[in-house]
Amino acid sequence: MRLASTLATLFTAAATLGTALGTALPAQAAAPALQIVKIYYDSPGADRRSNESLNAEYITLLNTTRKAIDLEGWSVRDKTGYAYEFGADVVLGAKKRITVRTGQGNDGTSSVFWNRRQYVWNNDQDTAYVRNSGGKLVDSCSYKARSTSAYVTC
């Protein structure tokens, strides 16, 4: 307990000195408003482009804020340039997740569908990008495949 108290005192003194010198201690980077949390890039089984297989390939995003985000105009892209753009009426609640599945289906509150008939995410390596409605990069995640996993957590 005494060590913790001493460390706290030293940290406070360093922060005070940094402020006095005009050089504050670096702040921890804030999480992006919409964060990529998982990319399932290699759907189970043979890649035969069945809708079931296409929908087992997906990217999951998390709203890290305490407010809902209107995703209209936001996009998800891969390194090749395949792009999914969220349409009207897609609002992601605070601290909620949404999954963008590659294949076809009916959009809901927790999953939307790219409606593609081909895979998006490369099985060996790729990069995912999330951009807001103004085109600004919000988050990205790169991966190189490992033989022990078909997905990456970002």
Number of domains within the chain: 2
- Judge if 38 and 71 occupy the same domain: yes
Residues 15 and 88 in one domain: no
Range of the domain at 17: 1-27
pLDDT tens per residue, range 71-118: 999 999 999 999 999 999 999 999 999 999 999 999 999 999 999 999
Mark whether 96 and 141 lie in a shared domain.
yes
**What is the per-residue pLDDT across 47-71, written as a single tens digit (0 to 9) for each?**
899 999 999 999 999 999 999 999 9
Nearest to 37 by CA among 99, 90, 125: 99
- For 107-120, what is each residue's pLDDT tens digit? 999 999 999 999 99
In this prediction, residue 27 carries a pLDDT of 54
Per the prediction, the chain carries an average pLDDT of: 86
22 with 43, same domain?
Answer: no
C-alpha span between 37 and 153 (Å, rounded): 6
